[in-house]
Copies of this chain bind each other. A is one copy, B any other.
Amino acid sequence: MILDRVNYPQDLKSLSYDELKTLASEMRELIIKKVNTTGGHMGPNLGVVEATIAMHYVFNTPADKIVYDVSHQCYPHKILTGRKEGFTNPDKYLTYTGYTAPEESAYDLFKVGHTSTSVSLATGVAKARDLKGENYNVIALIGDGSLTGGEALEGLDNAATLGSNIIIVVNDNEMSIAENHGGIYDNLKLLRDSNGSAEPNFFKTLGFEYHYVENGNSIEDLIETFKSVKDTNHPVVVHIRTLKGCGLSVAENNKEAFHWIMPGTLDQTDNSSVFYGESYESITKDFISKKVEEKSPVCVVVAGTPGVFGYDKSYRENLGKHYTDVGIAEEHAVAYSSAMAKSGAKPILCLMSSFVQRTYDQMSQDLCLNNSPVTMLIYWGGLSDADATHLCSFDMPLISNIPNMVYLAPTNKEEYLAMLEYSYNQNEHPVAIRVPSCGLISAGIADQTDYSKINKFSMTENGEKIAIIGLGNFYNLAKEVKEEIKSKLGINSTLINPKFISGIDTEMLEGLKANHNLVITLEDGMLDGGFGEKITRYYGNSNMRVLNFGGTKEFTDRVPLSELYEKYHLTKEQIADDAKKCLNDIFAVC
Q: Which A residues form the contact surface with B (CB < 8 A)?
A: 65, 67, 102, 109-114, 117, 120-125, 127-132, 148-151, 153-161, 181-184, 186-187, 199-202, 204-208, 297-299, 321-322, 324, 326-327, 329, 331-332, 335-345, 347, 355, 357-362, 364-366, 368-370, 388-389, 394, 397-398, 400-404, 526-530, 532-534, 536-537, 539-543, 545-548, 553-555, 582, 585-586, 589
Residue numbers in B under 8 Å from A355 (CB-CB): 361
> Among B112, B335, B401, which residue has its beta carbon within 8 angstroms of that of A124?
B335
Contact B154 A120 (CB under 8 A): no
Residue numbers in B under 8 Å from A361 (CB-CB): 114, 151, 355, 357-360
A153 vs B553: C-alpha distance when bound (angstroms): 33
Contact A131 B345 (CB under 8 A): yes
Residue numbers in B under 8 Å from A129 (CB-CB): 343
25 A-B pairs within 8 Å (CB atoms) are namely A102-B370, A120-B336, A124-B336, A127-B340, A127-B345, A128-B344, A129-B343, A131-B340, A132-B344, A151-B335, A151-B362, A153-B153, A153-B154, A157-B184, A161-B183, A182-B206, A186-B207, A187-B206, A200-B202, A200-B205, A202-B205, A359-B361, A364-B394, A527-B537, A541-B585
Q: Shortest CB–CB separation between residue A83 and chain B, in angstroms? A: 19
Residue numbers in B under 8 Å from A403 (CB-CB): 553-555
Contact A123 B541 (CB under 8 A): no
Residue numbers in B under 8 Å from A202 (CB-CB): 200, 202, 205-206
Contact A332 B151 (CB under 8 A): yes
The 6 A-B pairs with the shortest beta carbon distances in the complex, nearest first, are A150-B150, A124-B339, A160-B183, A529-B529, A183-B206, A128-B343
> Among B102, B205, B332, which residue has its beta carbon within 8 angstroms of that of A158?
B332
> Among B150, B339, B537, which residue has its beta carbon within 8 angstroms of that of A128?
B339
Contact B345 A117 (CB under 8 A): no
Residue numbers in B under 8 Å from A327 (CB-CB): 154, 157-158
Contact A339 B206 (CB under 8 A): no
Residue numbers in B under 8 Å from A181 (CB-CB): 158, 161
Q: Shortest CB–CB separation between residue A59 and chain B, in angstroms? A: 16
> Among B122, B332, B543, B547, which residue has its beta carbon within 8 angstroms of that of A339?
B122
Q: Which single residue of chain B is at the shortest CB-CB distance from A347? A: B124
Contact A547 B540 (CB under 8 A): yes
Q: Shortest CB–CB separation between residue A360 and chain B, in angstroms? A: 4
A370 vs B54: C-alpha distance when bound (angstroms): 27
